[in-house]
Amino acid sequence: MYHLRIVLLLLFGLNYFGNASIAQTKTYSKKEITKLTDEASRYLKEANFEKSLDISKLALRSSINANDLYSAAISYITIAANYAEMAEFDKAIFFYDKSLSYADKTNNDTLRKRINNNLGNIYCFEKKQYEKGIKYYEKSLKYSQKLADTNQVFITRLNIAWAFFDIGLFEKGFPSLEFINKYNKKYGDATNAVAVNMLNGMYYGHKGDDNKATSSFLNAIKFGNEGNEKSDLSFSYLEFSKYLLKKGDYKKAYENLARYNIIIDELYNEEKIKKANLVGINLELEEYKREIDRIETEKLAQLQSLNKSKIIVLLFGVVFCFLLLLLYTLFRNNNFKKKANATLSQTNMELLVAKEKAEEANILKSQFVSTISHELRTPLYGVVGITNMLLDEHKELADSPHLSSLKFSARYLLSLVNDILQINKIEDNRIILESLTFNVSDEINMVKSSLSFLAKTNDNEVVVNIDPNIPEYLIGDKLRLSQIIMNLVSNALKFTKSGEVRIDVNLSKVEGESHFLEFKIQDNGIGIHLADQEKIFDKFVQVGRKETDYQGTGLGLSIVKQLLGLFDSDVSLESAIGKGTVFKFVIAFDFNPERTTEIINNIQVDMSSTQIVKVLVVEDNRINQVITRKTIEKNNYKCCVVDDGYAALEILEKENFDVILMDINMPLINGFETTRKIRLKGIGIPIVALTAFDKAEITEEALSAGINDIIIKPFDSIKLFKIISILISKSKSIA
């Protein structure tokens, strides 16, 4: 077999070098990229969202390829601004955050000032999250003052006053109003005259000064009608209407409200937004064109390879000689194998019996672990859910250390259950690494955010440093990577008091598409004794633990070592008592520019109008019913809850729903059988299993029953609504 491998290797090498071709992609200079970003901004000002998005994506691809961080930040700002103009505010926030990450890499205060001000506008006036929005305004104000940008200081102060007035905190907003009144003649102009007068009208109206309030509102309306600031004019009519209504002048209040509605209808012309749908179609056509070009290139290479037929014939003769030698070797080895097989057969029979007994015991162990995890996850869902409900309904408890401790303890217990399941899966060889596109920086920062409570508990600071040479998008198993880093960082935080934990990620080398990343987790905690360093990666081992400590089960580092084994990697350890600990490991991830381009091109514009979504929840546990209902209704969905599968079948005869959330383990009739009966009735509503069972255990039966997706309790509400949105969209497109 060894000789055959050599021959096949020779054939593969000849074919590879004969057919290799260099794909050429147009590269843009810095000047050309700047021209693209300027052009995208111009189309945005003209409300041509289709062209602006199209050119912004081209500029973004070119910026990433050229490692032009500034232009990449500008491109993300323009994409975010397009979404903001089209009232897609969540997407706008996402891309402003991306642009802010690039602005931080360039240390450009002008970009930071601009992005923070725009985020303040969205959070205050679109999301109505004023506290968060005002914080962004204050950051923008800090950068503006640092740059001595007095015009921007004036605008940001105006926005802060407006935000405070909007929520009735006139005394907090008054210092900013006082500032803009003082410097209005110097820095104000026609574009903000409407807003300045309107804010004065709101303040004087609050103070009961009717003459000044009426005069200010009328001046705002006058300037608005004379200029182009239609949006500010509409708000002036609205605030004047509120003021007149408060005074009891209902007729004039109604007239001003009517003028506000007329301007709003003019501003939000749906035809402009619908044009942007064409962008997705054009991008798909570009992908098809690139695929056709690739196929044509391959065909040309195949034609060229035919000219090498003489070499192939000669090589074939060499292969034939190798095959004759191989046959002779196989004949000699066959006689030896016959003798060895007789001995091995008896041994194999004995091993087979032992293997069957071991497998039977292993199945029983897996079933036990699965049952225990299900029984633990169900009450944990209640604890986590009720904690979140308390935080949502009683904002005054947001800073309560008791509630934070409760939430942390529940999540800690959930993490413990997941650790036990993880060890069980690895030992049963049930983990297969996935190949997904991800951003290393995003995953590291998500881990940092998840462990913020633990860091705060021990008065620690988590510092993240990521090599800027690492490509933005890599391909690999991001979930397993996050688990490795999560276990190492949480371990460091537990054994460090009033110190620092560093997460460093550096690009160590590149081989073809493989980018080898070196991860280093370092702390200045208590350290590990040399004698204990060999055994800390064993299961259930905890060194240096006192009777009063609460430091887990000792599975974390064992999971880290076994998961790194799946990546063909290992972890190294450097530590000394009193000086801290350093863990290092290297993982190779693939980098594929075509996949990166695909992600950027797949930025979709959702033009669907806001609709009411009806959700049917099938759940027998009363606590879980309350939590799930609260979660659903918090997203402004309509929710109906039933206790069992028969009740679900009965209500589906009377009402229509957009999606069904189905518990699996229920009395009378379980979730699988309920789903089968629903499908037999010809009802095609998307069904999502909401269960405490491990996903891998029920996936096969869930799919055969007709369930569309599975979410494990306790679940992330953002993930739930994303899955619901996707399933409803697919259901409507099929219909």
Asked if residue 462 belongs to a domain, the reply is: yes
Q: What is the pLDDT of residue 299?
A: 47
Q: What is the pLDDT of residue 696?
A: 72
Q: What is the pLDDT of residue 649?
A: 93
Given 601, 622, 651, the domain boundary residue is 601
**Exposure string over 227-265, b if 16+ CB within 10 A, otherwise e:** eebeebbbbbbbbbbebbeeeeeeeebeebbebbeebee
Q: What is the pLDDT of residue 578?
A: 85
Q: What is the pLDDT of residue 454?
A: 83
Name the residue range of residue 384's domain: 310-426
Asked if residue 398 belongs to a domain, the reply is: yes
Q: Are residues 445 and 594 in the same domain?
A: yes
Closest CA to 602 of 277, 272, 294, 284: 284
Q: Are residues 457 and 577 in the same domain?
A: yes
Asked if residue 257 belongs to a domain, the reply is: no
Q: Which residues of the chain have pLDDT under 70?
A: 1-26, 268-310, 358-378, 380-382, 384-385, 389-431, 538-556, 596-611, 735
Split into its structural domains, the chain has a count of 3
Q: Strand 436-438 to strand 461-466: parallel, antiparallel, or no bridges (unpaired)?
A: unpaired
Q: What is the distance, to the nearest Å, from the Cα of residue 278 to the centroid of all Cα atoms in its chain?
A: 26
Q: 63 Cβ partners below 8 Å, 6+ apart?
A: 33, 69, 71, 72, 75
Block residue for tokens 């891998």: 696
Q: What is the pLDDT of residue 553?
A: 52
Q: Are residues 557 and 701 in the same domain?
A: no
What is the CATH classification number for the domain harbouring 401? 1.10.287
Asked if residue 318 belongs to a domain, the reply is: yes
Given 601, 636, 667, the domain boundary residue is 601
Asked if residue 550 belongs to a domain, the reply is: yes
Asked if residue 70 belongs to a domain, the reply is: no
Closest CA to 687 of 633, 639, 616: 616
Residue 727 · residue 709 · CB < 8 Å: yes
What is the CATH classification number for the domain harbouring 630? 3.40.50.2300
C-alpha 377/C-alpha 385 separation (Å) is 12
Asked if residue 195 belongs to a domain, the reply is: no
Q: Are residues 532 and 597 in the same domain?
A: yes
Q: Are residues 548 and 687 in the same domain?
A: no
Asked if residue 622 belongs to a domain, the reply is: yes
Q: 408 Cβ partners below 8 Å, 6+ apart?
A: 453, 454, 457
Q: Are residues 450 and 549 in the same domain?
A: yes
**Kind plus residue range of the DSSP H or E element containing 4:** helix 2-19
Strand partners, 502: 463, 522
**Kind plus residue range of the DSSP H or E element containing 576:** strand 571-576
DSSP secondary structure string for all residues of 52-78: HHHHHHHHHHHHHHTT-HHHHHHHHHH
Given 541, 571, 601, the domain boundary residue is 601
Whether the pTM exceeds 0.75: the reply is no
**Is the Cα dihedral 48, 54, 57, 58 positive or negative?**
negative
Which of the 8 DSSP states describes residue 531?
G
C-alpha 502/C-alpha 524 separation (Å) is 9
CB atoms near residue 433 (< 10 Å): 14
C-alpha 423/C-alpha 556 separation (Å) is 10
**Is the Cα dihedral 416, 420, 423, 429 positive or negative?**
negative
Alpha helices in 167-276 (DSSP H): 170-182, 184-187, 190-207, 210-226, 230-247, 250-267, 270-274
Q: What is the distance, to the nearest Å, from the Cα of residue 509 to the centroid of all Cα atoms in its chain?
A: 27
CB atoms near residue 620 (< 10 Å): 16
Q: What is the pLDDT of residue 9?
A: 43
- Which strands make up the sheet holding 614-618, listed edge to edge? 638-642, 614-618, 659-662, 687-691, 709-712
- Evaluate the omega torsion of the peptide bond into residue 714 and state whether it is cis, within 30 degrees of 0: yes
Strand partners, 520: 504, 584
What is the CATH classification number for the domain harbouring 517? 3.30.565.10
Q: Are residues 334 and 382 in the same domain?
A: yes
C-alpha 14/C-alpha 616 separation (Å) is 61
C-alpha 613/C-alpha 725 separation (Å) is 9
Q: Are residues 519 and 453 in the same domain?
A: yes
Q: What is the pLDDT of residue 638?
A: 92
Half-sphere exposure of 509 (CA within 13 A, CB side): 3
Strand partners, 639: 615
Q: Are residues 594 and 679 in the same domain?
A: no
